[in-house]
Amino acid sequence: MELTKEKDQRNVTTLVEFILLGFSDVPKLQGFLFGVFLIIYVIILIGNFLIIILTKVDSSLQTPMYFFLGNFSALEICYVSVTIPRLLADLCRQNRNISFLACATQMYFFLVLGATECFILTAMSYDRYVAICNPLLYPLIMNTELCMQLATGCWISAVPVHIGFTYLIFSLPFCGPNQLDHFFCDIPPVLKLACGNTFVIEMLIYVVAVLVVTIPFMLILGSYVKIISTILKLPSATGRAKAFSTCSSHLMVVTLFFGSGIITYMRPKSSHSVGMDKFFSLFYTIVTPMFNPLIYCLRNKDVMVALKKFLSKWVLS
């Protein structure tokens, strides 16, 4: 009996890496998927870098709304860079091993940047709420100091929570198979490989999800109830259309990001399946970030005007 225990403990400690299976179940599509994901990654990088540059060089975009948009674009570049480069590399090679430390690091940055995205989208909704519901006080409320404080809070508030959370997940014993049937180190596939009791971690996932996803989403929802109520009270149809156009891009991004995130992390464990987990993960890690710069450029007249000016200057120079 004593010998078996020692053997089991040795088995727990010998597991030092995972294998990311990714899309190895469709070997004939590896080249096609590499091309698709590479194009999407380039679109995300170019689109968001353009938005960052425009918000810095165009004086008409140096307002609180575009300050947060610049932060959001910088965040999107970091967010997709946690998963897509590794995915592209894995699509080109047979060896898809990832060490515990690399897996934990990837999960940590993915969770922190995902939470930061929730917070920045909430700050952006507050900015729109003040602009539409308190337009006369907008310059006083959304001053430079408050914008900097909100942005800083968004970037750093999730850091300590997810250090502890990631540490707890990777403190679990992993003594069984080491194949992660996913394309990055996300929480559900990693927990499936843990051979200890994961009940506490699963409950903690719901607590963290409520703190960083549900509460921000409810705050955004509350902001938009007030915003839409104020817009509907405006006397002219032109005024209503103009007011709503300043919020529509943000509302679309919120719906895409929070919708896929809530479905993935808040649905019951019994309804999880490998195929659906991968699909939803692709949606909120790759597809949604691709649409974000397109939505903000194509649906925002100010950004389109600034983009045309910037491109015409760049072409002439």
Summary count for the chain: helices (H), strands (E): 15, 3
Does residue 144 lie within any of the structural domains?
yes
Residues in the chain: 317
Alpha helix ranges (H) inside 171-236: 187-192, 199-209, 215-232
State the pLDDT at residue 273: 65
- What distances in angstroms separate CA 140 from CA 121, 219, 242, 286, one per listed residue? 21, 22, 22, 37
Does residue 6 lie within any of the structural domains?
no
Does residue 2 lie within any of the structural domains?
no
Specify whether the CB–CB gap between 33 and 54 falls below 8 A. Answer: no
State the pLDDT at residue 266: 63
Domain span at 260: 14-316
Specify whether the CB–CB gap between 124 and 220 falls below 8 A. Answer: no
Does residue 4 lie within any of the structural domains?
no
- What is the C-alpha separation between 287 and 282, in angstroms, rounded? 6
State the pLDDT at residue 217: 92
> CA angle at residue 111 from 82 to 299, to 5 degrees?
75
Does residue 63 lie within any of the structural domains?
yes
Structure tokens at 99: 């060490």
Structure tokens at 271: 């309804």
Q: Which amino acid is at 86?
A: R
What strands, in cross-sheet order, belong to the sheet with 97-99?
97-99, 17-20, 179-180
State the pLDDT at residue 317: 64
pTM for the full predicted model: 0.89
Give one DSSP letter per residue of 112-175, joined into a string: HHHHHHHHHHHHHHHHHHHHHHSTTTHHHHT-HHHHHHHHHHHHHTTHHHHHHHHHHHHTS---
Would you give the distance in Å from CA 242 to the centre of its chain? 28
Per-residue pLDDT of the chain (317 residues; tens, 9 = 90+): 333 344 444 444 446 789 999 888 888 889 999 999 999 999 999 999 999 999 999 998 999 999 999 999 999 999 999 999 999 999 998 889 999 999 999 999 999 999 999 999 999 999 999 999 999 999 999 999 999 999 999 999 999 989 999 999 999 888 878 899 899 999 988 998 988 788 889 899 888 888 888 899 999 999 999 999 999 988 888 888 888 887 888 888 898 888 877 776 666 665 566 667 787 788 888 988 998 888 887 777 888 888 888 888 877 76
Q: Work out how many domains the chain is built from and give that number.
A: 1
Domain with residue 208: its CATH number is 1.20.1070.10
Does residue 272 lie within any of the structural domains?
yes
- What is the C-alpha separation between 206 and 115, in angstroms, rounded? 14
State the pLDDT at residue 184: 95
Does residue 96 lie within any of the structural domains?
yes
- What distances in angstroms separate CA 213 from CA 82, 89, 160, 270, one per listed residue? 20, 30, 16, 21
Does residue 5 lie within any of the structural domains?
no
